[in-house]
Amino acid sequence: MALIPFNKPTLRRKDMDAVLQTMVDERIGPGERKNAFLKQFCEMTGAKGGIALRSYVDGLRCALQACKLELNAKIGVSILSPSWYRYVVESLGYELVCGDIDAEHGCLSQNEAERLVGLGCSVLLVHLPMCQIPVSCDYRQLGVPVIEDITQSLASEYEEQKAGTYGDLILCAFEEDCIVSTAGGAVLAYTKEPYQAAVKAFESELRPYIELPDMNAALGMIQLATLPEQLFKRRELYTLFAKSLLKTSHRVFGIGNIDFQPNGYGFCVALDSRPEDAIKFANKYQVSAKKTFTDTLAAQADDRFDLYPKAIPLYLRAITLPLYPFLKQSEVELLMKVISHLS
């Protein structure tokens, strides 16, 4: 049996047909489909408007520039944010300042957000990791712009709270490994009218060089339209895997409330043992597994338990296993067995 891949894009015939139709119509650059995809995204998240872009990096760069910051401005983030944030922040002449997480959901904690603002941070850039949402936080009450990156948590929700409702600006990527893919691209949306002019300015100044092509948007439109059925399957698998994990001494990473509805962006386990042993065990049975937070800012601070007492243990011991709708029944059963016997 071949190794169960860590991720497999959710692509079906109708996804392919949608992309092919843009070629038949000779409409592959930014146009009507890009606008329709953006409208779908805004309706789903409750955003008031935005722009669809060719890359995740462009999205973050535009988000920071929309905040109209001075040179050397400080940007507050959690230490479990993607490491490439530093490149974008520093390339614009800003300074990155890191804080610890809330152990309940892995996002920047409210206390740390307050501390970062007190240190002079002009913006909070809040990354929502591995299906989670910051249920106990209200960042916007701190009086600085909040950029909410929902790439890994799109459509996750708890009661009336959902990803995309915690920030003034919403950033969401649609890469190959995301639950919705445009084969590369991102959306930057705004939830407050004061940001409309700044966001729309990028569209008029840089179009069409940074805007999402219709060929990519066509794929995204189909994927957003079928997202409810994909979420149902992902949540079903998440629940099965979580029940299997109850047979071990480990725990599921993140919100444990039964009413939490994760989007199923991978299955993340907070181990009480060495991740190398768990990964080796999974690989032995042909299951892919990897450390969850390897490519985060914590990689350069893995010995700073004094500064990040909640994040560093997760950085060192969390692993992620495959979870996606196209898993075969035999693969699901194997994953459940492996999860229930993780050492």
Displacement of CA 140 from its chain's centroid (Å)? 20
* pLDDT class of 194 with cuts at 50, 70, 90: confident
Q: Decide if pLDDT at 242 tops 90.
A: yes
**DSSP calls for 200-221:** HHHHHHHTTTSBPPHHHHHHHH
Tens of pLDDT, residue by residue over 119-161, are: 999 999 999 999 999 998 999 999 999 999 999 999 999 988 9
DSSP conformation class of 287: B
Residue 181 and residue 228: Cα distance in Å, rounded? 15
Q: How many other CB atoms sit within 10 Å of the CB of residue 244?
A: 18
pLDDT at 102: 97
Domains 13-225 and 227-340 share a fold: no
Tens of pLDDT, residue by residue over 223-232, are: 899 999 999 9
pLDDT at 30: 64
Tens of pLDDT, residue by residue over 276-306, are: 999 999 999 999 999 999 999 999 998 899 9
pLDDT at 82: 98
Rg (CA), the chain: 20
Element (H, E) at 9: none
Q: Return the domain boundaries, the chain.
A: 13-225, 227-340
Residue 248 and residue 325: Cα distance in Å, rounded? 25
Residue 175 and residue 213: Cα distance in Å, rounded? 14
Q: What share of the chain is helix, strand, coil (3-state, %, to 5)?
A: 40, 20, 45
- Taking the CA atoms of residue 276, residue 277, residue 279 and residue 283 in that order, the dihedral angle to the nearest 10 degrees is 130
Q: Decide if pLDDT at 28 tops 70.
A: no
**DSSP calls for 15-49:** HHHHHHHHHHTT--SSSHHHHHHHHHHHHHHT--E
* pLDDT class of 2 with cuts at 50, 70, 90: confident
* pLDDT class of 321 with cuts at 50, 70, 90: very high
Q: Tell me phi and psi for residue 74, to 5 degrees.
A: -95, 135
The proportion of the chain whose per-residue pLDDT surpasses 90, expressed as a percent, equals 76
Q: Decide if pLDDT at 255 tops 60.
A: yes
Q: Assess contact for 290 and 6: CB atoms under 8 A.
A: yes
Instruction: State the CATH class of domain 227-340.
Output: alpha beta
Fold classification of 13-225 is Aspartate Aminotransferase; domain 2 (3.40.640)
Structure token pair of residue 122: 């002009």
What residues contact 43, with CB distance under 8 A and at least 6 apart? none
DSSP conformation class of 119: T
